[in-house]
Amino acid sequence: MTASLPVVAITGATGFVGRALVQTCALLPNVDVLAITRRAHGVQYSELRGVQFSNIGELSSSMHWLPVLTGVDVLVHTAARVHVMRDTATDPLTTFRAVNVEGTMNLARQAAAVGVNRFVFISSVKVNGEETAPERPYTPNDFPAPVDPYGISKREAEDALRQLAAATGMEVVILRPPLVYGPGVKANFLSMMRWLYKGIPLPLGAINNKRSFVAIDNLVDLIVTCIDHPAAANQTFLVSDGEDISTTELLRRIENALGRPTRLIPVPEWMLRAGAALLGERELSQRLCGNLQVDISKTRNLLEWSPPLSVNEGLKATVEHYLAGLSK
């Protein structure tokens, strides 16, 4: 590390968001980067300027962080137990709380104790809820209404972090992204690309909802902005690409980026929801058919920030990475 430069530490450094953030911060001329992960394997940062790599183990309430955090100026916390569609834990809420609340607060308390100036917490739009009314996007000031254990754990962590900030003076910045996509995306988004690439007809050609998404490059750009922006201190922000589209439109744009013909069957939404209910897939149908919009006007105005990538640019980068992987 260069002693004269501020140090930005990033947890979850080999995760989807953390990896992209480390690679971006390594290009910044005015910071050194500490990339923290739970395992020694994964992405190596030895070739990146000013990046030190440290593995510390699983995020927990008993982890000893002080030797790692000493000298850190800003801590960006991306590590978490993430939402899963079919959780097999006996008590999911307790399991999420152990990592996302107790583990996070153990980290945050020790960060405050060693003099970390700012704690940037990557939360989730699930703190707001699961679905918005038409043309009624979520705002940062809405009363939180999380539904599932993941969202509840993120809300509890947010509340505890705000209390810690008030008690210690360590600045806390909270970001709530919706679905994040981009090169290397996994889970359902990757599955959709695979189906579309293979030309599998999907019954999703008549969905007229509105949903917010955020490209990984846009999220990382906002995180970098929040590292040192004075107006970000002790604020909560929503983030998106700035354009809300339907599930049908999303799939059509992915097909276009893939160079594939449209194979979306216009099945009525009520029929999709009824079929999903019969199959026990209500959550999936809500994700496909429901509205989930976020209002980023506070983020734009207070931070003078705009998404650098459009939806089409973000999807193009995502698809190009996917196609490049197929050729290897």
**Is residue 96 in some structural domain?**
yes
Residue 80: inside a domain, yes or no? Answer: yes
Amino acid symbol at 115: G
Residue 17 lies in a domain: yes
Which residue pairs, CB below 8 angstroms and at least 24 apart, start in 82-86? 82/150, 83/124, 83/126, 83/148, 83/150, 83/151, 84/150, 85/188, 85/283, 85/284
Residue numbers annotated as active site: 150
pLDDT of residue 44: 55
Percentage with pLDDT > 70 across the chain = 93
Average pLDDT of the segment spanning 197-219:
96
Q: At residue 89, does pLDDT exceed 80?
A: no
d(CA 235, CA 172): 7
Residue 300's H or E segment, with its range, is helix 297-303
Residue 234, pLDDT above cutoff 70? yes
Q: Total domain count for the chain?
A: 1
Task: Give the pLDDT confidence of 123-155 residue by residue, as tens digits.
Answer: 999 999 999 998 899 999 999 999 999 999 999
* Dist. CA 123–CA 137, nearest whole Å: 18
CB neighbours (10 Å) of residue 243?
13
pLDDT-derived band at 286 (thresholds 50, 70, 90) equals confident
Provide the CB-side half-sphere exposure for 104 (13 A, CA): 29
pLDDT level of residue 254 (50, 70, 90 thresholds)? very high
pLDDT for 283 equals: 83
Q: State residue 233 phi and psi, 5-degree precision.
A: -55, 125
Q: Count other C-beta atoms under 10 Å from residue 231's C-beta.
A: 11
Helix H or strand E segment including 283:
helix 282-289
In a domain, 198, yes or no: no
Residue 237 included in any domain: no
Q: What is the pLDDT of residues 165-200, one digit of tens each?
A: 999 999 999 999 999 999 999 988 999 999 999 999
With 0-12 / 13-18 / 19 or more C-beta atoms within 10 angstroms meaning exposed / middle / buried, residue 209 is buried
CA-to-CA separations, 197 to 181, 191, 256, in angstroms, rounded: 17, 10, 10
Q: Mean pLDDT, to the nearest integer, of 152-167?
A: 98
Residue 38 lies in a domain: yes
CATH of the domain at 39: 3.40.50.720
List the Cα angle 181/186/187 in 5-degree steps.
105
Mean pLDDT of the chain: 92
Q: Among 195, 173, 211, which Cα is nearest to 255's?
A: 195
Which of these, 178, 194, 140, lies nearest to 17 by C-alpha position?
Answer: 178
Predicted confidence band at 244 (pLDDT cuts at 50, 70, 90)?
Answer: very high
Say what the pLDDT of residue 45 is: 54
Domain that holds residue 52: 7-176
Classify residue 58: in a domain, yes or no. Answer: yes
Judged against a pLDDT cut of 70, whether residue 228 lies above it is answered with yes
Mean pLDDT within 219-242: 98
Q: Which two tokens stand for residue 286?
A: 């809500």
Residue 301 belongs to a domain: no
Pull the structure tokens for residue 95.
Answer: 């399991």
Report the run of H or E that residue 297 belongs to, with start and end: helix 297-303
pLDDT surpasses 80 at 5: no
pLDDT tens-place string over residues 19-76: 999 999 999 988 999 999 876 554 555 566 668 888 787 788 888 899 999 999 999 9
